[in-house]
Structure formats: structure tokens, C-alpha cells
Amino acid sequence: MSAGFSRFSSLNWYLLVMSSKVLVNTQPSSSLARSCYFNMKQLVLYHNCCPLMNCKARNLFFPWLLCFFLLVISPSCSDTDTLAQGQELKDGDHLFSASGIFRLGFFKPGHANTSYLGIWHNTNNEKAVWVANRDTPIFGNSGTLRVDDHGNLKLSYSEGDSIVLYSVQAASNTSAILLDTGNFVLRELNPDGSIKQELWQSFNSPSDTLLPNMKLGIDKKSGLSWSLTSWISDEVPALGSFTLGMDPNGRNQMAIWWRGNIYWNSGPWENSLVKIFGKFDDYRFSYISNENETYFTYAVSKDITIFPRLTLNEKGEILVFLPDSMIPQVSCSTSAPSLRAGCVEQKLPKCRSPQDKFVYKMGLMSTEGFAFGKSDNLSLSDCRALCLKNCSCVAYTSTNDDGTGCEIWSKDSSFTEQYRKELRSIFIIDTKIRIWWIWMIIVCGGASTFPLLFSVCYVIWRKKKEEANRSEKMKQAMLLRELGGNAMSYTLTGKLKKRWRDQKAGPELQIFSYESISDATDNFSTANKLGEGGFGPVYKGKLLDGQEIAIKRLSRSSGQGLVEFKNEAILIAKLQHTNLVRILGFCIQGGEKILIYEYMPNKSLDFFLFDSSRKNLLNWKKRLGIIEGIGQGLVYLHKYSRLRVIHRDLKASNILLDKEMNPKISDFGMARIFGLNGSEEKTNRVVGTLGYMSPEYAMKGIVSFKTDVFSFGVILLEIVSGKKNISRSVSEHSLLIEYAWQLWNEGRALEIVDSTMDEPCHPDEALRCIHAGLLCVQEHAADRPTMSEVVSMLSKENVRLPAPKQPAFIDAGEEVPECTDDKLNNCSINDVTISEIDVR
């Protein structure tokens, strides 16, 4: 039976070889046929390389015979290697090179819903060897590649401007073709179909992979540089932090740069080519240098049975692909001397050692780390380097599931190892190697070495103290990085000392020491306490130079934390308006988190408005000025500031008054930044104060600029009436806006005006304020005006206001729960911000 199978297999191989020879000059038309054709040729080559009786490939005869029949009988297909002028290649379509070796189309890396145009090997399911739109992903499946009527090669998609790969003023009869080399070429053709000129090719814009006959170097005439740039992660093709190319300093060598700094160099070409790549028999490397160009390239033998390529990966390694293996040929992150040849030593701070290792573990950290912004465009290698260069950093990880972004932790955070699917993998520094000598001294010395043991303990204590100080400096540096501006250190050592930090130009903030703040407030005495909110207590203070300040100290029991602290510091530092409170600086020391503001001598609006003995100090003219100032501040936040901010916690207690009773909006801990094109978002974390929150926000978690408009409407009615929105003192109603609506419908709207004012209001102005306030508190956000429209309504008497509809929160039989002392954990009225409530 074995002999029979041998004879049958030999006959099969003979037929297969003869069939493939017949097909050598045949160009298959369908994608399936092309794939079969290419794999059949590869299989024949593989068969020729191994003995007939011992080669496992002989058992694959029947699948390949099926491919042969499909090849013969397959009908004409739309798949082609050419995209003609006026044609489109949509998401899901492909171009195949003539022999089916390469294909071009749209793909989605990882689990993202973003598409890229790429080229990859037709029988290799690994990542693309070339990507067109690396830093401009296309959302969804709307991508289209086309050669337009003018000969331009461009990518189009439903949401956004076209991505132009090549632009020409006018070229008729152009087409793009995918070659068997993997090169995608845009050509201008003569009327007879011959090539007139090549306009553009993908080989001139490499990604992270060098294919045979591609160039890596410099075109001296055009100034074009051929170089590879790594992906930012294994799943994201965006430009990474490593670049491989020719050394531009005139030295005939290759180099890898890491964010602009030399990371590795090959050495002179004559010796380095043989040393680095000479051991690969199937690769023939060469170095070409003449008056026109200088470049490095390679070719492969015709009978090579694998898909040859050189790749620069996201770790900065050069990979060479061999049959069934992927060999790192350059790797500066390994300890193998053969792979590290040419690596440039990376400078580390004195607190670090080259032997410091990070261990990959699954679990969670005890505190929130510092996450770098998206604009930093950091890879995991960048994150490791940032952690190593910071003496206080003990752990790092990527912030996104696709391996991008960076979050680091300082030494005040501990790690708990757990194996749960939803937890992240974190790289923890292994300190066992660094402290083994301490334990050796303790064990070996015994009781006879007590003085030495005492010295060691003192050194450890001193080191921990220094590490704690470094941790504090790290926190300050992290916050300074987010603030993005100059900072002035404000310390107190017997006299005032100021020291400038060399940072980027921007808002000027002071870093206050805890000692200076404690001294300014007489150790936070109750006599200097101005009040207390959701963040914590607020104190009045005076610096040594006589400047009065307001000090907001985060309470340890507060529901707000470092996120809200940074949010407020960063926002107020970057916002500049006469009706926004001005921040002077901050303090982070130990468990203390403190914000320092300009001092407002007249405290907050509710201090006057809701106190029977002080509200008469607010005459009508001052109330109108306060309304106008709050409105102008909100218009700036919503429309004119560079951040476009929704406050989310606007209320009378967050409106501060200066010595001229001008209003200043404060407390941005709950604020939310919107993009330039954003209109609304949904959040599961609802923050704010009952009575001021819009219904769609309080009940559905939908936040928009109209959320602040609703709060402003409530404050406007409170200023006019002198009464709180939620109060038992508003007639028989629970809500001021409900009472105002009833009076409006009955034609008695002016009865809501505060009667305790020393001078009467102007009736037309009061009616316009009430009218605008009711428009602001409409139940549906779409019915509310924008803040720009509200300011226009209040300032222009000739502007005709639309009739208001029934406001929100009015329902027969519905009562707003009264907040008593035993319910303050679930309810807040004016004074205390709710950090988080559940959405109904």
C-alpha cells in the first residue's frame, strides 16, 4: 500500500508541475484564482527543495488540484491590479498585483472602528507592509480610493476632507497600478497605453517595512529621504517614535532615531553590511552611492520560499524574516551583545541603574496615576523611558487597549496582583535586585554588627525620606506639565524667596509650600475661615508681602479628589476673563491639595441675596450688573475661550463678588471641556446641585451648553426675587420657577420682584429679566436660547423675546424632597455640590 501511494504521489506531482508550467504565462482574472496560482508556484518550488518521498507537501495535492480547476473555469472578475482614472476602490474591494503576490485595500487593525488603506502580502495574514493614511484614520467603512478627473490620487470618506496622496495640476489618462514588487505606482499614459511618466509611487513613502528593491537613503537631486518609521503600537499604524534611515551628517551609515535622538548606528558601510546582515544567504544587501543618490537596498534569490522583508517595529528593533521565524537583528532593549552592537547608551538619572528591570504583571494600583495627554503621542517604549528618567516612578502602562498612551505611578502607590480579565497589565519595577545587599549585611552581621545595622537603617530611612520628597516634586512636575506654563516657586524659610522654573511660556502660576499657606492663615484658624463647599473649607490669608488671598483646601472626606483638583487648576489657569475668578497658584504636599485664588472681599452672591439683613444692599442697578457679568462670563466659557467649557455647577454660592460687587464665576472642579464641534455628551457621572441642574442632565446624564443656560435662568430668577429656587418660603410652591410661571400666566409677573430693595426696579427691565429667565429654564434643551442670545435679550430693548413654554420640574402632585440634616448625603441645596449621583 505504501508503494502504491508513492507511485500515485509521484504521478500527482508530475501533473502538478506540468500544470504550473502551463500557467506561467497566464494572468488569472479572479482573486481566488490568483491566490491559487501564486501558492501553486510556491508549492512547486517547495517540492523541488525536498525529497519526493519525505516532503509533507505531497499530501496537499488534492486542495491544489481543486485550485487548478477553479483557475481554469473561473469567470472574469472585477478584481484587477489597476485603478483607472475616474474609478473608485471602496472599502471591501481590493487591487491584486498581476501574480497575486500583493493586494491593496482598506483594513481595520486590532479592534478599532477605524480604517486604513494598506498593502499586504496576499498569502500572509500579518500586518500591512505599507499604510497610506497613518495619522489620519477613517472612521467606519466609508473610505474610497480614486484617481480623479485631474489625475490626483486621493482618499475620500463621509466625514472629513479628502486625504491627497498625490496632487497634480492636470494630467489626463492616468491610472494607479499595484506591482508584484509591492509598489503602488501612479502613472500618466500615452494615448497608445504606453507609460509616459511615473508621477508617484508608494516606495518613495515607506511605512515601517523595507521590501526587496526598495531604497533606504537620500535622493540628492530632489532632496527626498527614504526612511522607515515604526508603528506606534502593534495594533496602531500611526507614526511611532523610532525612525530608520541614512545618517544625514555625511557619514556612510544607517541610524535609528528615537524621537530625534540617535538610538543606534550601523557603523561604516563597508564593514557593517557584512557584520549585520551577511549571515542571511537568501538576502543580498548592497550599498549604492553616486552623484544622484545614496541608498541601502537588498534583493532576494528567486527560489526563496518565504515572504522577505525588513521591519522596524514599535520597540525600535530591526526584524529580518526567515522561514518560520522572525529574527531581531538589532535590539537595544536586550542584553545580547550581538544585537546591541551600535546602540547608543541612553542617559539615566543617578537614581537609576542599567540593571533596573520592569516586571510585567496583571493587577491594579492603589491610587490614580498620572496619564499623559493624547497629544503627546506616546508608545509603550516612550512610557518606559519616561518612567526610568523619573526617580519617583515605580510603574507604568499604556492607557489604551491598543498599546498607546502612557500612565505612570509614583512611590506612594502600591500594586496588588490580581488576574481578572478587565484589569490592565502593568509594568512594575523590580527592586529586589537593588536591596539584596542590605539583607545580606543584616543576616551576616548579626548582633555583633549593631552599629552597622543602625547605620543601614538610618540610610534606608534617609532614602525613603528623599524618595518621598521626590514624589512630591514629581506630582508638582506632573501638574506643571498639564498646566503648560511658567511656574514660580513660593517658599517660606524666614523670608520670601522666589525662584523661576524654566518652562514653556504661558499662564504664570505660583507653587506655594504648605508652610507658607499655614503661616498665611494662622495655621488654618477658624477665625480666618470664610465658608465651606463640596471641595472643602475656604480660608482667608495674607502673604508676607501683604497680598490677601483666598485658600481652598481639599477636605480628606470630600467626594472630590485629584481629578477635580487638577481640573480646576488647569481650567482656571488657562481661562482669562474679568468675570472669572483668577487663580494664583497651588500647593501639593503630603495629603494636602490646596488652591490659592485672588481674595474676594464681598464673599459670594448667596451671602447677600438670601440673607434678610444684607439683601437690601443689592439695589436694582447692582443686581442688573451681576446678571450681566455672569452672562458675559458664560458667553466667554461657551464661545470665545480656547477650551469651550461647560461649568456644570453654576449656582449663587459659586458667584463671588469683588469690592465693587462685580461677579466672578468660580469653582471649576466639575467643569467639562467640549471640542470645537461638540454639542452634547452623555455621562454616567452626574455632578451638580439640585435646583440648578437641568432635567435632561439630572435624569438622563445628558450634558450640553444648555445645561449652564438652565442654571443661569435659575440664578437670574433668584437675583430678581431674592429667594432660593428650592425653598418653603416661595408662596405655597416648592420651586421658585414654578411660582414665577404661575405669576407670568396670570399677568402678575412683577409680584416676584424682591420688595426689600431700597429703590424700586424699572418694570420693563424686570419683566425682560423674568421673561429671559423663564426661557432659560424650559424643559427641553432645544427650546432654551444660547448664552449669546440671552445676553442680547437682556441688553437690547428692541429684541423681541419668544413666548416661554411651561418650565421644567412642574408636575401636578410632584413634590421636590426637602433637604433636612439627615438627608444631606443624598440631596444638596445651593451650599454643597453633589460629587456624584445616580441617573434615573
* Residue 149: all three cell numbers together: 478627473
Catalytic choice (79, 81, 606, 649): 649
Residue that has been written with the C-alpha cell 512610557 in this structure: 383
DSSP 661-713: --EEE---TT-EE--TT--EEE-S-EEE-BTTS-HHHHHH-EEEHHHHHHHHH
How many angstroms separate the Cα of 606 from the Cα of each of 532, 609, 655, 699? 13, 5, 8, 26
Whether the Cβ atoms of residue 317 and residue 231 lie closer than 8 Å to each other: no
Instruction: List 321's β-bridge partners, or say none.
Output: 326
Active site residue 148: no
Residue that has been written with the C-alpha cell 502600591 in this structure: 414
* Residue 3: all three cell numbers together: 508503494
Q: What is the DSSP-derived secondary structure letter of residue 782?
A: G
Tell me the residue type at 224: L
Closest to 550 in 3D by CA, of 566, 534, 532: 532
Closest to 768 in 3D by CA, of 745, 795, 746, 787: 795
**Spacing of C-alpha 719 from chain mean position:** 41
Strands (E), 280-392: 283-289, 293-300, 310-312, 318-322, 325-330, 357-365, 370-371
For the chain, helix (H) and strand (E) counts, in that order, are 17, 47
DSSP 689-700: -BTTS-HHHHHH
Plot region of 541 (φ>0 → left; ψ -120 to 50 → alpha; else → beta): beta
Cβ neighbours for 203, distance < 8 A, ≥ 6 positions apart: 181, 183, 211, 214, 215, 226
Whether the Cβ atoms of residue 489 and residue 496 lie closer than 8 Å to each other: no
Closest to 722 in 3D by CA, of 705, 740, 710: 740
Q: What is the DSSP-derived secondary structure letter of residue 10?
A: H
d(CA 830, CA 161): 47
d(CA 549, CA 510): 13
d(CA 74, CA 528): 89
- Three-state DSSP state, 840: coil
- Within 13 A of 727's CA, how many CA atoms are on the CB side? 16
Strands (E), 572-662: 583-589, 592-598, 645-646, 655-657
DSSP 747-761: T-GGGGS-TT-SSPP
d(CA 308, CA 300): 8
Cβ neighbours for 516, distance < 8 A, ≥ 6 positions apart: 490, 491, 492, 543
* Residue 89: all three cell numbers together: 476602490
- Three-state DSSP state, 140: coil
Total count of residues recorded for the chain: 840
- Three-state DSSP state, 412: coil
d(CA 562, CA 546): 30
509-512 and 583-589 strand pairing? parallel
Catalogue the active-site residues: 649
